[in-house]
Chain A
Amino acid sequence: MKNLIKKFTIAVIVLSILYISYTTYISMNGIIIGTKIHKNDKSQFMIEEISESSYGQFVGLRQGDIILKINKEKPSDKHLKWGYLSHINSLDILRSGKKIHLKDFDLVTLNRPYSFFLFVLPLFFYFLSIICIFYILKVNKKRRSFAAYILILLLLDISIAYISAGGPFRGHIINRYINLFTFISSPILYLQFIQRYLGEIGKTFLNRISFLYIIPIFNLGIEFFQDYLQVDIDFLATLNLVSFATLTLFSFSAIYLHLNKYKYAEHSFILKLLILTNTLSFAPFLIFFVLPIIFTGNYIFPALASASLLVLIPFGLVYQFVANKMFDIEFILGRMRYYALLAMIPTLLIVGALVLFDVMDIQMNPVRQTVFFFVVMFAVFYFKEVMDFKFRLKRFSEKFNYQDSIFKYTQLMRGVTSLQQVFKELKNTILDVLLVSKAYTFEVTPDHKVIFLDKHEVGPDWNFYQEEFENVTSEIGKIIEVNQGFLMKVGERGGSSYVLLCLSNINTPRLTRDEISWLKTLSFYTSVSMENVLHIEELMEHLKDLKQEGTNPIWLKKLMFAIEEKQRSGLARDLHDSVLQDLISLKRQCELFLGDFKKDDNPCREEVQDKLVQMNEQMSDVISMTRETCHELRPQLLYDLGLVKALSKLVAQQQERVPFHIRLNTGRFTASLDLDSQLNLYRIIQEFLSNAVKHSQATDVLIMLISIQNKIVLHYEDDGVGFDQEKNTEHSMSMGLSGIKERVRALDGRLRIETSEGKGFKADIEIEL
């Protein structure tokens, strides 16, 4: 389908070029198509046939007229082209024996206004269309849009309709059909384009449009068979105009209704733009020509003049299509205001000149006029450029550009990870918006040495600006303007400053207020981003160092050895103080007993027995003490049977030696924890109890270990003296708590303590599972 329409489009383009060449040739030679001249046997030039729409009819020629003189000369073959009259200024004819002088041939030879409306304007339109088509094809190479071809067809359709509407070739019968068809089908193509375009951006417009082609085909049919149907020519013209008006109004209302329906949709601006160009271009033609003709039979302005604004439609579409920009309508209007002001100047110039010419009676032919207007327009554009530059006239859009560029810049900053990237984006942003052509980054050290940072680029001669470099470093965002640009401080690290030097190839562009505040904002953003990037870099360095140290940093190893050594010495002291002393004493007793035993040849049996029993008991004591020490060091029961059992035993053991009553409730503890967590909880409870023994003076202690949903809660509560948390941070109770806090942290839990002097002590530990 796409291939087919592509071929079709190209064929139409080629045909249009042929057609335009043909019509141009005719127009240039002023050939009156449709007025056939026959040289009869008496060597007389006679009008043999004259068609309905031929210009011959307009200028007053009738069939059967005999031409006596052409341009006041005797008619010869040089005045004929393909059997038609050409280059005619005046005619002397003989009609039914009467001599008639005809000299009003301006229309045919395209003199004065006719030339402009019938030839220059349509041709100009056509060339513009061709240029547009070229752009569309170029853009479409990437886009591969179906709508593009319809747009091309629409452009060709309108320009051919325009060209074929008037001119000496009007009399051509085929031309008449071409004009009729292209003219009436243009609104349909227009609708089709919009339908396709919206369809391609995923929006639905009207469904089937092709059936509308029935209307132009119907018109063609009537035109073709007008002789058989005996239709009045005026009626035919009105019918054609009505068809056109209907279709145009139909497309208007379709777009307008669609806009109304999707007022807030994202493509509404496209529709708004369409309506705008539509109204501007179709409205004059419709209001000043079509509708008056239909209703009154008279027009207000001639068709070709009022249709000249039709140019706007296709070019509106073309711009939108090529730019494919989501610009909003306000932006355009803002611009339009500016352009409207600007357009006043050439308008006044031209009108003034024309009035002057009229007064002084200076005649200008179209070519001269074209050259004149071209020069005026060119001068205006050039003038505008100079004005913009000289007075720093900002187009209305620039206001948006500042905001937009800062927004874009901050967006970019989110992604940067290195200093180079920050500078690169900053430079791009500044070069995009300001009239500077080069931007460089420098580092200024605390001793005012300037280092060029863009190593891979050729730097400017920055020695000129040494003084400025020194002055600019006082604060971030400071700007110093130099003869070809400006310097700006954008950030600092340590004592060094980062300075941006922007230069322009042309004269000094002085910075406006807006630009300065924009630049300052940019530099603040940059310095913040730079700081972040620098922090990240430092952090990365640090992480790299840590990684090099491996999983066991030296300090940790040292600490672990120290702890191990301390625990060992503690253990050794305990063993030395208890078990060892007991064993030594046992050994002494044994030795004494043995000594007695040897001395005494007749030992008393009972005495030996007593001694042995005594020693056995002592050994049992040593064993149980050793066992307790072992349990203290490593709660074997916890390893073998779990936390609940171990806690029961701990509480049972403690109960025997503490002065308060302990209540332990682990009945709702159902969680299964890993060994380390169990051990941590065990040690925490041990610590709570030892704190209670040492400080609390409590009479009742409650310990609850409980599962609540997916949490474990350890609740400790006593009715002891408590302490003031604020005051006694160095309190030994707090010291004991610090160990608990560390363990809670290791468990990734939360500790909440509730206590005050004389109010007991409560602690809640929550651990998420």
Chain B
Amino acid sequence: MKKILVIDDHPAVMEGTKTILETDSNLSVDCLSPEPSEQFIKQHDFSSYDLILMDLNLGGEVNGMELSKQILQENPHCKIIVYTGYEVEDYFEEAIRAGLHGAISKTESKEKITQYIYHVLNGEILVDFAYFKQLMTQQKTKPAPSSQKEQDVLTPRECLILQEVEKGFTNQEIADALHLSKRSIEYSLTSIFNKLNVGSRTEAVLIAKSDGVL
């Protein structure tokens, strides 16, 4: 018998979820509506539950994500799933980062919810393939500014060219000003675009400014 806690501020949703989940005889469900007080965490013993379903928008000032973090601080072994009416993809990454076991939508079918719960009880989560793929590629294309690779640092000539770009000169004008060929300017610009991961001159200039290169 696994004990599940549903935290939500809508009684109807709580009861509905309880009814759906308890059709599974292995699950027993408690419901809890939070109050916005400091004592809330201390008053309840969350460690006795195998799993918590946490709504995000708990009415008033209470934020489900913050509440989850606090619960995890007190009971690090708790397994919490974001249970939201909003789009799950938006919150998934943040939830994992905060140490929660992903998120599931309130609009999902009974089967999917129970399935997800069982996976989490086993220490696994279900991730949509397309979402996971997107997540992986994003990580690759968006390197953190601090961990810049050496080959991504602009050369002095590229900086010089960017300075001219900022003044609004065309490639030909830049070539004339720096005594270089137009082709070499074009080549350098491509290199700059690649290094800064940008698609336009304006973007390049702004990024360079932000990085303090200009």
Interface residues of A (CB under 8 A from B): 620, 623, 627, 631, 636-637, 640-641, 645, 649, 663, 665, 667-668, 702, 704, 706-709, 713, 715, 717, 762
CB distance from B100 to the nearest CB of A (A): 13
Question: Assuming the A-B contacts A627-B86, A704-B206, A706-B206, are A667 and B211 also in contact, with contact meaning beta carbons closer than 8 angstroms in the complex?
Answer: no
Given the complex of chains A and B, what is the CA–CA distance between A620 and B108 in angstroms? 10
Can you spell out 6 A-B residue pairs with CB atoms less than 8 angstroms apart? A627-B87, A640-B91, A645-B90, A663-B203, A702-B202, A715-B202
- The residue on B at minimum CB distance from A705 is B206
Q: Which of A620, A636, A649, A709 lies in contact with B57, CB distance below 8 A?
A: A636
Question: Assuming the A-B contacts A623-B107, A702-B203, are A637 and B210 also in contact, with contact meaning beta carbons closer than 8 angstroms in the complex?
Answer: no
B94 at the interface (CB under 8 A from A): yes
Q: Which of B86, B90, B197, B207 lies in contact with A706, CB distance below 8 A?
A: B207
Interface string of B46-86 (1 = CB under 8 A from A): 00000000001100000101000000000000000000011
Given A623-B107, A641-B91, A715-B202; 6 other pairs, CB 8 A cutoff = A620-B107, A627-B87, A665-B203, A668-B207, A702-B199, A702-B203
Chain A residue contacts of B57, Cβ below 8 A: 636
Given the complex of chains A and B, what is the CA–CA distance between A665 and B57 in angstroms? 29
Question: Assuming the A-B contacts A627-B86, A649-B90, A668-B145, are A663 and B199 also in contact, with contact meaning beta carbons closer than 8 angstroms in the complex?
Answer: yes
Given the complex of chains A and B, what is the CA–CA distance between A620 and B85 in angstroms? 12
Q: Which of B86, B198, B199 lies in contact with A637, CB distance below 8 A?
A: B86
- The residue on A at minimum CB distance from B89 is A649
Chain A residue contacts of B202, Cβ below 8 A: 702, 704, 715, 717, 762
User: Across the interface, do A704 and B203 meet the contact criterion of CB distance under 8 Å?
Assistant: yes
CB distance from B10 to the nearest CB of A (A): 14
B26 at the interface (CB under 8 A from A): no
4 closest residue pairs by CB, A with B: A668-B210, A708-B209, A706-B210, A708-B210
CB distance from A760 to the nearest CB of B (A): 11
Interface residues of B (CB under 8 A from A): 56-57, 63, 65, 85-87, 90-91, 94, 107, 142, 145, 197-200, 202-203, 206-207, 209-212
Question: Assuming the A-B contacts A640-B63, A668-B211, are A715 and B206 also in contact, with contact meaning beta carbons closer than 8 angstroms in the complex?
Answer: yes
Chain B residue contacts of A707, Cβ below 8 A: 210
Chain B residue contacts of A620, Cβ below 8 A: 107
Chain A residue contacts of B206, Cβ below 8 A: 668, 704, 706, 708, 713, 715
- The residue on A at minimum CB distance from B90 is A637
CB distance from A586 to the nearest CB of B (A): 15
Question: Assuming the A-B contacts A704-B203, A706-B206, are A667 and B86 also in contact, with contact meaning beta carbons closer than 8 angstroms in the complex?
Answer: no
Given the complex of chains A and B, what is the CA–CA distance between A645 and B138 in angstroms? 13
- The residue on A at minimum CB distance from B65 is A640
Chain B residue contacts of A640, Cβ below 8 A: 56, 63, 65, 91, 94
Chain A residue contacts of B212, Cβ below 8 A: 709
User: Across the interface, do A665 and B198 meet the contact criterion of CB distance under 8 Å?
Assistant: yes
Given the complex of chains A and B, what is the CA–CA distance between A707 and B210 in angstroms? 6
CB distance from A670 to the nearest CB of B (A): 8
Given the complex of chains A and B, what is the CA–CA distance between A717 and B65 in angstroms? 35
CB distance from B30 to the nearest CB of A (A): 25
User: Across the interface, do A627 and B90 meet the contact criterion of CB distance under 8 Å?
Assistant: no
CB distance from B148 to the nearest CB of A (A): 12
Given the complex of chains A and B, what is the CA–CA distance between A460 and B10 in angstroms? 87
CB distance from A634 to the nearest CB of B (A): 10
Chain A residue contacts of B197, Cβ below 8 A: 667
Given the complex of chains A and B, what is the CA–CA distance between A717 and B199 in angstroms? 12
CB distance from B62 to the nearest CB of A (A): 12
Chain B residue contacts of A641, Cβ below 8 A: 90-91, 94
Given the complex of chains A and B, what is the CA–CA distance between A623 and B106 in angstroms? 11
Chain A residue contacts of B200, Cβ below 8 A: 663, 702, 717
Chain B residue contacts of A713, Cβ below 8 A: 206, 209
User: Across the interface, do B85 and A627 meet the contact criterion of CB distance under 8 Å?
Assistant: yes
- The residue on A at minimum CB distance from B66 is A640
Given the complex of chains A and B, what is the CA–CA distance between A762 and B206 in angstroms? 14
User: Across the interface, do B142 and A667 meet the contact criterion of CB distance under 8 Å?
Assistant: yes
Given the complex of chains A and B, what is the CA–CA distance between A667 and B202 in angstroms? 15
CB distance from A763 to the nearest CB of B (A): 12
Chain B residue contacts of A708, Cβ below 8 A: 206, 209-210
- The residue on A at minimum CB distance from B109 is A616
Given the complex of chains A and B, what is the CA–CA distance between A762 and B57 in angstroms? 37
- The residue on A at minimum CB distance from B138 is A648
Chain B residue contacts of A717, Cβ below 8 A: 200, 202
Chain A residue contacts of B203, Cβ below 8 A: 663, 665, 702, 704
CB distance from A754 to the nearest CB of B (A): 11
CB distance from A49 to the nearest CB of B (A): 107
CB distance from A688 to the nearest CB of B (A): 15
Given the complex of chains A and B, what is the CA–CA distance between A398 and B212 in angstroms? 65
Chain A residue contacts of B86, Cβ below 8 A: 627, 631, 636-637
CB distance from A384 to the nearest CB of B (A): 78
Given the complex of chains A and B, what is the CA–CA distance between A451 and B65 in angstroms? 76
- The residue on A at minimum CB distance from B64 is A640
- The residue on A at minimum CB distance from B107 is A623
CB distance from A654 to the nearest CB of B (A): 15
- The residue on B at minimum CB distance from A626 is B85
User: Across the interface, do A667 and B90 meet the contact criterion of CB distance under 8 Å?
Assistant: no
- The residue on B at minimum CB distance from A641 is B94
Chain B residue contacts of A649, Cβ below 8 A: 87, 90
Chain A residue contacts of B87, Cβ below 8 A: 627, 649
CB distance from B208 to the nearest CB of A (A): 10
Given the complex of chains A and B, what is the CA–CA distance between A637 and B63 in angstroms? 12
Chain A residue contacts of B207, Cβ below 8 A: 665, 667-668, 706
CB distance from B204 to the nearest CB of A (A): 10
User: Across the interface, do A667 and B199 meet the contact criterion of CB distance under 8 Å?
Assistant: no
The CB with the most chain B CB atoms within 10 A, among A641, A668, A717, A762, is that of A668
The CB with the most chain A CB atoms within 10 A, among B56, B197, B200, is that of B200
- The residue on A at minimum CB distance from B106 is A623
Given the complex of chains A and B, what is the CA–CA distance between A120 and B97 in angstroms? 111
Given the complex of chains A and B, what is the CA–CA distance between A640 and B197 in angstroms? 28
- The residue on B at minimum CB distance from A667 is B142
The CB with the most chain B CB atoms within 10 A, among A627, A665, A707, is that of A665
Given the complex of chains A and B, what is the CA–CA distance between A641 and B145 in angstroms? 20
Given the complex of chains A and B, what is the CA–CA distance between A574 and B207 in angstroms? 41
CB distance from B211 to the nearest CB of A (A): 7
Chain B residue contacts of A704, Cβ below 8 A: 202-203, 206
Given the complex of chains A and B, what is the CA–CA distance between A762 and B86 in angstroms? 34
Given the complex of chains A and B, what is the CA–CA distance between A620 and B142 in angstroms? 34
- The residue on B at minimum CB distance from A646 is B90
- The residue on A at minimum CB distance from B212 is A709
CB distance from B163 to the nearest CB of A (A): 15
Given the complex of chains A and B, what is the CA–CA distance between A348 and B120 in angstroms? 127
Chain B residue contacts of A709, Cβ below 8 A: 212
- The residue on A at minimum CB distance from B199 is A663
Given the complex of chains A and B, what is the CA–CA distance between A663 and B207 in angstroms? 14
The CB with the most chain B CB atoms within 10 A, among A623, A636, A709, A715, is that of A636
User: Across the interface, do B65 and A667 meet the contact criterion of CB distance under 8 Å?
Assistant: no
- The residue on A at minimum CB distance from B214 is A708
Given the complex of chains A and B, what is the CA–CA distance between A411 and B198 in angstroms? 61
Chain A residue contacts of B107, Cβ below 8 A: 620, 623
CB distance from B4 to the nearest CB of A (A): 23
CB distance from B81 to the nearest CB of A (A): 16
- The residue on B at minimum CB distance from A616 is B109
Chain B residue contacts of A702, Cβ below 8 A: 199-200, 202-203
Chain B residue contacts of A762, Cβ below 8 A: 202
Q: Which of A663, A665, A667 lies in contact with B145, CB distance below 8 A?
A: A667
Given the complex of chains A and B, what is the CA–CA distance between A668 and B85 in angstroms? 31
CB distance from B205 to the nearest CB of A (A): 10
Given the complex of chains A and B, what is the CA–CA distance between A130 and B181 in angstroms? 98
